[in-house]
Amino acid sequence: MAEEQKVALVTGASRGIGRSIAERLAADGFIVVGTATSDNGAQAISSYLQAAGNSGCGMTLDVSSDDSVSAVLKSLTEQYSAPLVLVNNAGITRDNLLMRMKADEWSDVIDTNLNSLYRVSKACLRGMTKARWGRIVNITSVVGSMGNMGQSNYAASKAGAEGFTRALARELGSRAVTVNSVAPGFIDTDMTRELSDEQRDLMLGQIPLGRLGQPEEIAALVGFLCSDVAGYITGETLHINGGMYMA
Amino acid sequence: MSSIEERVKKIVAEQLGVKEEEVQTEASFVEDLGADSLDTVELVMALEEEFETEIPDEEAEKITTVKLAIDYISENLA
């Protein structure tokens, strides 16, 4: 990138898919700001970005808090410049059968995974529309399309994010801002390591490629979507799941 | 220092990609200057930046012409 380096904001970047995405975007020449819910997490992000020679850093962000979002956006814009790439990756699960699901298990997931898109994306739009260039990538899940037992909250949040993606893509198209979703299947991260061996074997049986995906494989797709050459892809949900679900 | 009227017209011209002489005081952003809904939102944000003020959404919705923008800024920036 010969021109001034663009700033990419990646939420939930301390581990798993988010970390791989932050590292990918750093390698692609963006100044990367990664966020984590704890100061320790933010520190860890700063360390790996520094090790990669990136001038970005980690910041502590609670995507379920309006105040936290505006504070982080303010300080990162002052320190670097307004982010032109946003990867909404931060997400949680609170699995339970709906018949047993507590109200807060439902609302925590919706707030962190879906309402956060309203907060964080809105805070980044001004910079992107002004620049007449922007990339928003929402990390969703195959569960948003297929459903999964015990994940009605999570599936609702991810399917909601995909609808949000399509609507926002229509709003921002005239400003050359693209908005897409990437829907990973079964990826080798802490989130999937929590599953029992039985659940894991059952899942693997449904995947034609017969293995888990690697976070780097998701990151490569996100990196592509954030590049200049991907400028004609918008409003799309790209599935990456080893063939477990074919849309 | 330019007058509020000149500054408002300059911003309208920049934001909507029209010539400054086309920005007549009575012009409507949508009907005369070809703005779409996103243009009008961006225009208000640009005015907020230029005049270092915040225009509440309820007020922003009412600013549909160059004159209304000049009037709002003049009244609220005294």
Flag whether A1 is in a domain: no
pLDDT of residue A174: 95
Q: CATH number of the domain at A213, please.
A: 3.40.50.720
Could you tell me if B45 lies within 8 Å of chain A, comparing CB atoms?
A: yes
CB contact under 8 A, B38 and A126: no
So what's the pLDDT on residue A2? 47
Residue A92, token pair as written in the block: 């949680």
Tens-place pLDDT, residues B24-77: 999 999 999 999 999 999 999 999 999 999 999 999 999 999 999 999 999 988
| B42 neighbourhood in chain A, CB within 8 Å | 129-130
3-state class percentages of chain B: helix first, strand second, coil last, to nearest 5: 60, 5, 35
Looking at chain A from residue 218 to 237, which residues have their Cβ under 8 Å from any Cβ of chain B?
none
- To which residue do tokens 């459903």 refer? A147
How far apart are alpha carbons A226 and A10 in whole angstroms? 12
Where in the sequence is the domain holding A33, given as residue range(s)? Answer: 7-238
**Domain locations in chain B as residue ranges:** 4-77
Compare all CA atoms of chain B with the CA of A173 and give the residue at the minimum distance.
B38
- Contact assignment for B42 to A130 by CB distance below 8 Å: yes
Which pLDDT does position A4 carry in this prediction? Answer: 82
Nearest residue in B to A174, CA atom = B38
Maximum distance among all alpha carbons in chain A? 56
Contact A31, A80 (CB under 8 A): yes
Position A243 in a domain: no
- Which amino acid belongs to residue A107? S
Is B36 part of the annotated catalytic residue set? Answer: yes
Q: Work out the angle at residue A182's Cα, subtended by the Cα atoms of residues A121 and A80, and round it to the nearest 5 degrees.
A: 40
Question: What is the C-alpha separation between A101 and A98, in angstroms, rounded?
Answer: 5
Could you tell me the two tokens for A47?
Answer: 């360390």
**Architecture of the CATH domain B4-77:** Orthogonal Bundle (1.10)
Q: Is A247 domain-assigned? A: no
Q: Is the pLDDT of residue B78 over 50?
A: yes
Split into its structural domains, chain A has a count of 1
Q: Are A129 and B38 in contact (CB < 8 Å)?
A: yes
Residue B48 in contact with partner chain A when CB distance is under 8 A: no
**A171 interfaces chain B, CB cutoff of 8 Å:** yes
- Asked, for residue A202, whether it belongs to a domain, the answer is yes
Q: Does A156 appear as a known binding residue?
A: yes
Work out the minimum CA distance from A30 to partner chain B, whole angstroms.
Answer: 26
Name residue A12's amino acid: G
Per-residue pLDDT, A1: 43
pLDDT along chain A (247 residues), means of 10: 82 97 98 98 98 97 97 97 98 96 98 98 96 97 96 98 98 97 94 84 92 97 98 98 94
Structure token pair of residue A118? 């309203």
CA distance B35 to B37: 7
Domain annotation covers residue A198: yes
pTM: 0.92
Asked if the C-beta of B57 comes within 8 angstroms of chain A's C-beta atoms, the answer is no
**DSSP summary character for residue A112:** I
